[in-house]
Structure 1
Amino acid sequence: MNADYPCDLESVIATKRLDQRPSRAANVESETQALLGMLREVAEAPKAFFERLIQGALEMTQADSCGISLLNEQEGRFVWPAVVGGLSSYLGSGTPADFGPCGTVLERNAPVLFIHPERHFTYLESISPPLEEVLLAPFHMNEKPVGTIWAVIHEKDRHFDSEDRRRLENLSSFAESAYRVLVSTGALDAMLGIKPAE
C-alpha cells in the first residue's frame, strides 16, 4: 500500500474540475436518437435494458468502462448487475453501501467525479484496469436515491468533462425508468440477489 493511503474523502473528489476543463460540444441530434432508441427498449426488456443503457453510456461519454450499481439495503451493499468495457469481469460484484463511491454519491444525491478513489477506498486498489477517473450519477425511486450509473476512465491522459456529466445525468433518468419497471414486475429482488422468503 502506498504510504500516502488512505487519504481523506475530499482529496479524491474533483467534481468542480468538470466545469474547469475544456468541454466538447453537445451532439443533441445523435444523443436524442440514442435516447429514443433506449426509451423503446426500457418497457420491453428492463433486465437487458441496463446493459443496453451502459453500452450507450460507453458510446456517449469518454469512458473506458461503464456500469450500474443498485442498492441492496438488506445486505448493506451495492450490486453491479451490468458492467461493460475494461471492468466487465466485475459483473455481479459491488461495493459496501456505507464506504464507497456509490454510497458517497447517494449521500450527496448529486453527480460526483473521483480521481483515484482507491486512495480513500483502499479496497479498490486491486481493481484492474486502474481507476484513473470515476464519474457517477444517482437515480431515484420516489425521490429516494436507489442506485448509480457510473463511467470510468482507465488511461492517465484522458479526462471527463462537464458534457460527460450532463450525458450521464440524462442516462440516469433512463436507469430510473428501468428500475421502476423492475420493481413493478417483481424482478428487482432477483437482480439484487435477494432470495424469496421460504
Structure 2
Amino acid sequence: MESNHALADNDEFANRPARQPDYASESAGLVRLAAAQMGPRANLLQEIADVALSVCNAGSAGISLVEGTGDSRHFRWLAVAGRCADLRGKTTAWDECPCAMTLEARTPQLFIRPQDEFPCLRFLGVDVAEGIVVPIPTTDTPLWAIWVMSDEEGRQFDLEDVRLLSNLAVFAGAALTVVDARDSGIENDQRHNEFIAMLGHELRHPMAPIGSAVGAAARLCADNAKAVEVLPSHDGS
C-alpha cells in the first residue's frame, strides 16, 4: 500500500503558513521538564507528553517505546496526554504503527489521516486528522518516539510544530539518559548494600562453630605445646 504520509521536506509544509514562535510558552515547558528530571522516570515521561500537547496545541500527545526484538517488536505508549490519555499502556505492532516508519527514516514525519492507513489508530470517538511523529535520540538505534495528533479537521500542524517537537525530542533523549543513569546508580548501590549485609550475615554464623571447634581442639591438646602453638587463640586473635 502506498504510504499516505507527507515528509517535512516536501511541499506539504511549504504550503502551510507557520505560526509565530511562542518562546515564553516553550521556555515555561522546558522549565517544567527540568524540574521533572528530579522525580520518577514515569512522571518525567508524562510531563514531556503534557508539554508536547500544550506547546503544539494538539488533541493528543504521547511517547512510545520499542519493546521486544525481531518479529515480536512492538510499541508501548508509556505516556499519553489529551483525548487519548486513557490509552496509556496501549501496544501497537511494529509494522502497523507510524512510529516504525519514523524510526526507520530517523526524521520527523507528518501523517495525514493516519487512521486510513494504520488500523491501530482507529479509536472510538476520535477522528485523527493528522499527526507528527519525531524520533527521540537516545542511542545509535532509536527506540523512542514522541508524537502529537490533531482530532480537529481545521487544526493542521506546521513547521513550528516540527521545530517544537524536535526540540522536545532532544530534551527527552538527554533527560532519559540522565534519569536512567541515576536510577541505575541507585539500584547498584542498593544491590551492593544488600550483598554486604548478606555476606556479613553468612560469615557471622559459620564462624561460631569454627570458634567452638578451635576451642575444643585447644583443650584436647592442652598437654601438646606444639599443637597449641599452631592453633589460633580461642578469642579469635
Q: Which residue in 1 is equivalent to 2:210?
A: none
CA shift at 1:33, angstroms?
Answer: 2.9
Identify which of 44, 50, 65 aligns with 2:60: 65
Letter in 1 for 2:43: A
CA shift at 1:172, angstroms?
Answer: 0.6
Q: Which residue in 1 is equivalent to 2:39?
A: 44
Q: Which residue in 1 is equivalent to 2:2?
A: 8
Identify which of 22, 29, 32 aligns with 2:27: 32
Q: Which residue in 1 is equivalent to 2:188?
A: none
Q: Decide which structure has greater helix share.
A: 2
Q: Which residue in 2 is equivalent to 1:191?
A: none
Measure, in 1, the Cα distance between the counterparts of 2:105 and 2:172. 18
Q: Which residue in 2 is equivalent to 1:19?
A: 14
Q: Which residue in 1 is equivalent to 2:225?
A: none
Q: 1:43 touches 1:181 (CA, 8 Å); kept in 2?
A: no
Q: How big is each residue's C-alpha offset from its partner over 1:119-149, in whole Å with a ceiling of 9 and x where there is no partner?
A: 2223433454111111111012233211111
Measure, in 1, the Cα distance between the counterparts of 2:76 and 2:24. 33
TM-score (ref. length: structure 1): 0.82
- Structure 1, unpaired ranges of 5+: 1-6, 187-198
Letter in 1 for 2:164: R
Greater relative CO (CA pairs within 8 A, separation 6+): 1
Of 101-110 and 20-29, deviating more is 20-29
2:95 maps to 1:101: no
Q: Which residue in 2 is equivalent to 1:169?
A: 166
TM-score (ref. length: structure 2): 0.69
| Superposed structure 1 runs of 4+ greater than 4 Å apart | none
Mark the structure with the bigger radius of gyration.
2
| Equivalences, count | 179
CA shift at 1:21, angstroms?
Answer: 0.5
Of 96-105 and 24-33, deviating more is 24-33
Q: 2:6 touches 2:111 (CA, 8 Å); kept in 1?
A: yes
Letter in 2 for 1:54: A
Q: How big is each residue's C-alpha offset from its partner over 1:89-114, in whole Å with a ceiling of 9 and x where there is no partner?
A: 21100221233200000000010010
Q: Decide which structure has greater strand share.
A: 1
Identify which of 59, 84, 87 aligns with 2:84: 87
Amino-acid identity (%): 29
SS in 2 for 1:82: strand
